[in-house]
Amino acid sequence: MKKLIAANWKMNKTVKESISFVKEFEKIVNEKDVDIVICPAFTSLNVVANEIKNSSIKLGAQNMHFEDSGAYTGEISALMLKEIGCEYVILGHSERREIFNEDDFLINKKVIAALKNNLKPILCVGENMGQRKNGKTREIIQNQLKNCLGNIDKNQILKINVAYEPIWAISKGNPNHKAATAEDAEEGHKFIRSVVEKMFGKNISKNIRIIYGGSMKPENAKELLGMPNIDGGLVGNASLNAKNFAEIVQSAK
Residues that bind ligand PEP (CB under 6 A): 8, 165, 170-171, 213-216, 234-238
- Residue 229 C-beta: closest distance to ligand PEP, Å: 17
Hey, which residues are catalytic here? Answer: 93, 165
Cβ-based neighbours of 245, under 8 Å, separated by 6 or more: 5, 7, 25, 235, 238, 239
Closest CB to ligand PEP among residues 44, 244: 244
- Residue 40 C-beta: closest distance to ligand PEP, Å: 14
Closest CB to ligand PEP among residues 205, 211: 211
- Residue 171 C-beta: closest distance to ligand PEP, Å: 3
CA distances in angstroms from 233 to 10, 38, 55, 116, 236, listed in the order given: 15, 12, 20, 25, 10
Q: How far apart are alpha carbons 121 and 111 in whole angstroms?
A: 6
Closest CB to ligand PEP among residues 119, 224: 224
- Tell me if residue 12 falls in helix, strand or coil: coil
Q: How far apart are alpha carbons 206 and 186 in whole angstroms?
A: 15
Largest CA distance in the chain: 49
Helix H segments across 93-133?
94-99, 104-116, 129-133
Closest CB to ligand PEP among residues 145, 205: 145
- b/e 54-92 (16+ beta carbons within 10 angstroms → b): eeebbbbbbbbbbeeeeeeeeebbbbbbbebebebbbbb
In this chain, which residue has its C-beta nearest to ligand PEP?
A: 236
- Residue 201 C-beta: closest distance to ligand PEP, Å: 29
Phi first, then psi: give them for residue 136, nearest 5 degrees: -100, 5
User: How many Cβ atoms sit within 10 Å of the Cβ of residue 5?
Assistant: 27
- Residue 97 C-beta: closest distance to ligand PEP, Å: 11
Closest CB to ligand PEP among residues 108, 215: 215
Phi first, then psi: give them for residue 54, nearest 5 degrees: -105, 15
